[in-house]
């Protein structure tokens, strides 16, 4: 009971996006040991997309097998660097976007060109694969790049009806799609793009190099990594490493832009699952815990071998994976531990931690069950010095002012801005704070305040305590 050729038409609705479809084609290029992959979007005229690689290429028989549906099943043992899964990716990914898929492969001087055309298959009512001669292949968008190579493969998408229907038919629409594809490839294949623990592959979009996006900022001195953890399953090893990203106000504007290219920090926290160094799924806790503000700096890298695909319920698009029970429990345990550094950064950001010192903060946090509020600390040196100079009536008026300030503290607005990854302004720098302290000293010394008492008091008060060696800098200024 062979399936009706209309199956090809039905397979188009499997759920690919343009970027995930392109990534599926690149999987084949990486598996073919390509060192360079070019993604081409037509700049004018008819919409066309081509992917050209300098991989091993294919013989005629190998090319026909590649165009056959499920020629290699999911239970077939694969090489460790094979990014395939069901033997469907080339066909399903391509036909999800276009009506004409053409494969041209070059090896040992020979060229093989094959085409699936949905219109031809439906008209013939048969599984009819079209064979092109080299002259026809040379007319394809992307051929000029393949012609320069000794071996490699060109995948051409023509009649992009789905793309036009979902994205629009203008050149600006195609440019936006190309931008999304660039970002997707930069992230999904970032380990290959950087050569970090994977074979180095250069990716280009219309000739421009695609710079990898590292979701962990692993090479930043401000990122906090954990040691690798291992989970043994069916004789195979699953490895985990957590990264705590730096808080945004510690980064330059360029670094912040790079970090936020994936989206908001809250939405991109969680597990990042890699299969053969290829990012499969990211930004999820697999329902083990909710996304939270306290964990939004946590990213957990999970490396799985392709030999455990059957346990992870990896889908055809390689965009969904579910951890098996024997791994899920351990992932949950490790994740709770691995998110602690993020919680610490969030709770203490902007404060210099000196547990041995009794730091006087300007605001005190008062907690009552699940409720909390901030109150101005009357024992803060500058507040205390100010109150001491007031008359009884002025103190009562000032108490009312402080109460109004406390009751109108913009907690919700601050939360919304931080959740949206806005960056709070940095505190004053060293020279500004030393100058402010000197002004305070000049105003209070005539009231009989002891110099040494003033120095020790102001040096452990917020925000002066945020400056390293503030006491030393203040003493030097007073000595001048």
pLDDT in tens, 128-178: 899 999 999 999 999 999 999 999 999 999 999 888 788 877 888 888 999
Fold observed for domain 224-348: Ribosomal Protein S5; domain 2 (3.30.230)
What's the confidence (pLDDT) of residue 33?
Answer: 94
Q: From CA 77, how far away is CA 236, in angstroms rounded?
A: 14
Which tens digits make up the pLDDT trace of 73-123?
444 454 555 554 434 678 888 988 999 999 999 998 789 999 999 999 888
In this predicted structure, the answer to whether residue 363 has a pLDDT above a threshold of 80 is yes
Fold observed for domain 7-209: Heat Shock Protein 90 (3.30.565)
Domain boundaries, the chain: 7-209, 224-348, 363-479
In this predicted structure, the answer to whether residue 317 has a pLDDT above a threshold of 70 is no
Structure tokens at 165: 């229907």
Which tens digits make up the pLDDT trace of 264-306?
888 889 999 998 899 988 998 888 888 888 888 889 999 988 7
- The mean per-residue pLDDT over the stretch 33-57 comes to 92
Q: What is the mean pLDDT of the chain?
A: 83
Q: From CA 331, how far away is CA 206, in angstroms rounded?
A: 40
What's the confidence (pLDDT) of residue 345?
Answer: 63
| The most confident of 29-43, 218-232, 360-374, by mean pLDDT | 29-43
Q: How far is CA 247 from CA 158, 300, 347, 412, 416, in A?
A: 45, 17, 11, 20, 16
Residue (of 129, 1, 146) closest to 68 by Cα position: 129
Could you tell me if 39 and 135 are in contact, meaning their C-beta atoms sit under 8 angstroms apart? no
253 or 58: which carries more pLDDT confidence? 58
Alpha helices for 364-420 (secondary structure H):
381-388, 392-407, 411-419
What's the confidence (pLDDT) of residue 473?
Answer: 87
Q: From CA 152, how far away is CA 338, in angstroms rounded?
A: 43
What's the confidence (pLDDT) of residue 7?
Answer: 74
CA-only gyration radius of the chain, Å: 30
In this predicted structure, the answer to whether residue 203 has a pLDDT above a threshold of 70 is yes
- The mean per-residue pLDDT over the stretch 333-351 comes to 64
Residue (of 159, 68, 141) closest to 104 by Cα position: 141
């Amino acid at each position: 009971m062979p399936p009706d050729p209309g199956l090809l038409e039905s397979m188009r609705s499997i759920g690919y996006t343009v970027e995930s479809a392109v990534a599926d084609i690149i999987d084949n290029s990486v598996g073919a040991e390509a060192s360079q992959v070019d993604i081409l979007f037509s700049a004018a005229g008819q919409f066309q997309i081509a992917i050209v690689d300098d991989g091993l290429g294919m013989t005629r028989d190998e090319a026909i097998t590649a165009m056959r549906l499920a020629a290699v099943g999911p239970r077939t043992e694969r090489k460790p660097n094979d990014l395939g899964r069901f033997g469907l990716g080339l066909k399903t990914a391509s036909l999800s976007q276009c009506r004409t898929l053409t494969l041209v492969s070059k090896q040992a001087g020979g060229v093989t060109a094959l085409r699936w055309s949905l219109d031809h298959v439906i008209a013939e009512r048969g599984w009819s694969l079209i064979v092109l001669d080299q002259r026809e292949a040379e007319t394809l968008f992307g051929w000029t790049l393949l012609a320069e190579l000794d071996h490699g493969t060109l995948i051409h998408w023509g009649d992009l009806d789905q793309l036009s229907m979902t994205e629009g038919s203008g050149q600006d629409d195609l440019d936006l799609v190309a931008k999304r594809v660039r970002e997707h490839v930069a992230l999904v294949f970032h380990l290959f793009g950087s050569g970090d623990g994977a074979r180095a592959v250069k990716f280009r979009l219309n000739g421009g190099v695609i710079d990898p996006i590292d979701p962990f900022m692993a090479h930043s001195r401000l990122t906090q990594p954990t040691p690798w953890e291992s989970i043994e399953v069916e004789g195979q090893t699953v490895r985990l490493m957590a990264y705590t990203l730096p808080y945004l106000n510690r980064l330059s504007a360029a670094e912040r832009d790079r970090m936020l290219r994936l989206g908001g920090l809250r939405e991109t926290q969680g597990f990042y699952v890699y299969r053969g160094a290829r990012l499969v799924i990211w930004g999820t806790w697999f329902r083990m815990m909710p996304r939270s503000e306290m964990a939004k700096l946590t990213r957990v890298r999970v490396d799985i071998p392709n030999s455990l695909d059957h346990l992870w319920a990896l889908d055809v698009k390689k965009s969904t994976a579910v951890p098996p029970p024997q791994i899920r429990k351990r992932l949950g345990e490790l994740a709770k531990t691995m998110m602690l550094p993020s919680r610490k950064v969030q709770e203490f950001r902007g404060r210099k931690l000196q547990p041995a010192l009794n730091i006087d903060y300007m605001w005190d946090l008062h907690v009552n069950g699940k409720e909390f509020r901030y109150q101005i600390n009357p024992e803060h040196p500058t507040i205390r010095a100010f109150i001491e100079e007031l008359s009884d009536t002025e103190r009562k008026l000032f108490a009312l002012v402080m109460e109004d300030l406390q009751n109108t503290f913009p907690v919700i607005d601050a939360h919304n801005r931080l959740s949206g990854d806005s960056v709070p302004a940095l505190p004053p720098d060293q020279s500004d704070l030393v100058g402010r302290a000197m002004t305070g000293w000049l105003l209070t010394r005539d009231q009989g305040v002891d110099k040494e008492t003033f120095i020790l008091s102001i040096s452990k008060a917020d925000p002066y305590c945020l400056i390293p060696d503030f006491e030393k800098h203040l003493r030097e200024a007073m000595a001048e």
